[in-house]
Amino acid sequence: MKTLSRPVEPVQPVDRVAAQAKRSFLPEIQVLRAVAVMLVVLYHYWPDRLTGGYIGVDAFFVISGYLITSHLIREVERTGSLKLWAFYARRARRLLPASIFVLLFASLGTFLFLPSDLWASTAHEVTASGFYVQNLWLASKAVTYSASNDVASPVLHYWSLSAEEQFYLVWPSLIIISLLVARKWLRGHTTTTIGFTLLLVTLSSFAISVWGTQTHRAAAYFITPTRAWEFGAGALVVLLMRKWAPSLTLSRVLRWLGMIGLLAAAWFFSDATSFPGYAAALPVIATAAVIVAGDTGRADPSDLVFRLRPVQWLGDVSYSVYLWHWPLMVFAPYVLRHNLTTPELLALVLLCLVVSGLSKRFVEDAMRFWPRLIRTPRATLLAAGAGMLVIALVSGTQVFAAGVQEQRTAALLADVSDAPCFGAPVMENRARCPEALTGLPVAAVTKSDAPWAPRAGCRVTGSDPAVQTCYWGTGKPSRVVALVGDSHAEHWRGALHRIAKAKNWQIIEMYSNGCPASDARSVVFESRPRDGDVCRKWTAKVTVALRALHPDDVITTAYVQENVFEPAGSGPDGFARVWREWLEFTRVTVLRDIPTTANRNGPQCLAVNAGKQLACSNPRSKVLVDDDMMRAARPMRPEVNLVDLSDYFCDRGRCYAVIGSASVYYDRDHMSQQFSASLASPLLRQLPVP
């Protein structure tokens, strides 16, 4: 498909500009690819050592913007036209064969190695990756609090490939529009017109990136509008180098500064860095500087490293390394049945390089140069579409299998839920249940074990902040009990619903993600800054609603240890003020928060350490901590009823991930509903009810 037919005037390069423009071999690009992919691999394999290695992705974005823009402009100048279908076919032959092959490997590995509770979520991500919308899928999850503890899927890294493909979809059209405008109204200023368009898009995207990182940081990390400026920076380098090239001396300075800038960002940045935003400018500019430097000559000591065959080879297979390193790392602990040691990680890096070399030769190159595919763009695009449909079919089958497995799990739990040696009650008499702490989980954790699993009778009222309220129970209740707090209050619904069913209670649940019911200003939650007034406003709305409802009891708890209150030390008083208000019209019970898992995902730990459940236990002193809610409740007893069920999670020394063949945790800090339901009797005995 030709979109342009009239020749475009070329820009005549001169001197060093000409030398740079005529080069067909670009060793600096291969080196940048090698550095970028190793930064990413080292960050993923040793995240505590190279805390900012994720900036390798930003280097890849700049390189892609530079190369693609170079190809597009050269084609227009050489032929006077731009064949979009041919362009997309070349991209498909270059990227899709290895991408689809690794996705199929990830699907098979998920079925063979991962627990069944991860089948459906992984299948969804594989589908999103196969259709190159994984970044949008992750961005949509990033704004959902319930997804914050999700186990990383074997295709998580495909988000950057999705952003790149979306760039490829839009970028050629921008160049075509610029060329058409230049021909019609600005003859003789083709390069200037393209440059103005790309500069406008780049600056706009940078502004969006800065704003998005400050307001919606989790989602801003993934979406293309906040990343497009990084591709744009590479494109602008193309236009710059067509007009100007630095002297050899300046080139050497730029190369060294660029490499130092990349390594400095990888070393000093961390997950706490507000990224992308302003911070991404350092790796982007550093990468651009190395590209602009170009070939600095053999007088430059760095030239020896740049031309080393292993370095150039690593740059050549960098795409395959990026594709393979992550699923191999995700599957390895499940295959080996333990967390990886440093020697095992090093061996995995070596395995990744071997697999990547084979993949490059027998998958990437074999399909890229297959005569039947290069014959016409149509053949390539049809093959690409067929591959994507295969991905969708495989993923759909996996989702179906996950649903069947979940039904079996639910039936199994129904059979054992009242057994004397199932769940929390075994802690009262471990002698009669010899495998109380060592038995295998009788059923896998599923989506229904999530404390936020969908329930009927829920509604959201108001806004800024909204109040989520759920009603459970029918007919005229013998008692009305309100459960108030964040998701750590929500995960007690399993126990309370079982009590309510037996006692004919009505349960009214009032939740806000990450918000304790407190009048104190919570300015940080889970290491992320937030508006300190949001939770206070929610608490005030809840108090007004409770006063109108006038429940017999209010039960409250929260994940308080992850909150930072301002001013320092104001946390306990914030809780006490709210409780005193509630005590004017009801009784108040405070539930001590449950022990956490030392930042390990409970079901994942059990799956990796299959048959070694005690490996997922933790010292009681480490995971059961005092928090501001407890500091407020103790002095207010007996006016406030304080319930501490910690002894059903822990003995004197340790807290456990499996108790009475029930999985205690849904993720790294939330209780599973199967274990929550088993706490019904212990909880009822400590509530102030007749």
> In CATH, what number is assigned to the domain containing residue 423?
3.40.50.1110
Give residue 17's pLDDT: 62
Of the candidate ranges 13-27, 163-177, 273-287, the one whose mean pLDDT is the lowest: 13-27
DSSP assignment of 514-532, as one string?
T--S-SSEEEEETTEE--T
Instruction: Please state the domain count of the chain.
Output: 2
CA distances for 317 relative to 69, 324, 369, 515, 651, angstroms: 22, 11, 16, 47, 52
319 and 361 housed in the same domain: yes
356 and 263 housed in the same domain: yes
Give residue 50's pLDDT: 94
User: What type of residue is 556?
Assistant: T
The C-alpha atoms of residue 201 and residue 179 are separated, in whole angstroms, by 16
CA distances for 174 relative to 10, 73, 199, 272, angstroms: 19, 12, 11, 35
Give residue 18's pLDDT: 58
Does the pLDDT value for residue 420 go beyond 90?
A: no
Mean pLDDT of 273-298: 91
Any domain includes 437: yes
Any domain includes 4: no
Mean pLDDT of 41-52: 94
Place of tokens 């390189």: 63
339 and 453 housed in the same domain: no
391 and 437 housed in the same domain: no
363 and 445 housed in the same domain: no
197 and 344 housed in the same domain: yes
> Could you report the per-residue pLDDT of 340-355, keeping only the tens digit for each?
999 999 999 999 999 9
Give residue 194's pLDDT: 80
Most confident of 415-429, 516-530, 570-584: 570-584
Label residue 1 by pLDDT band (50, 70, 90): very low
Give residue 11's pLDDT: 40
CA distances for 321 relative to 27, 102, 324, angstroms: 18, 11, 5
Mean pLDDT of 275-290: 96
Task: State the residue range of the domain holding 137.
Answer: 15-397
Place of tokens 């060793």: 27
Any domain includes 672: yes
Nearest Cα to Cα of residue 625 among 687, 666, 669, 566: 669
> Could you report the per-residue pLDDT of 469-521, keeping only the tens digit for each?
889 887 889 999 999 999 999 999 999 999 999 999 999 999 998 899 999 99
361 and 495 housed in the same domain: no
Any domain includes 408: no
The C-alpha atoms of residue 657 and residue 679 are separated, in whole angstroms, by 15
375 and 454 housed in the same domain: no
Cβ(35)–Cβ(59) below 8 Å: yes
472 and 546 housed in the same domain: yes
Q: Of the residues 397, 426, 444, which one is the last residue of a structural domain?
A: 397
Q: Of the residues 343, 368, 397, which one is the last residue of a structural domain?
A: 397
Any domain includes 5: no
**Mean pLDDT, the chain, as a whole number?**
88
Any domain includes 382: yes
Q: Of the residues 369, 397, 425, which one is the last residue of a structural domain?
A: 397
292 and 434 housed in the same domain: no
User: What type of residue is 320?
Assistant: S
Three-state secondary structure call for residue 166: helix
Any domain includes 407: no
The C-alpha atoms of residue 636 and residue 640 are separated, in whole angstroms, by 6
Give residue 475's pLDDT: 81
Does the pLDDT value for residue 80 go beyond 80?
A: no
300 and 384 housed in the same domain: yes
464 and 318 housed in the same domain: no
Label residue 9 by pLDDT band (50, 70, 90): very low
Does the pLDDT value for residue 374 go beyond 90?
A: no
Does the pLDDT value for residue 434 go beyond 60?
A: yes
Any domain includes 136: yes
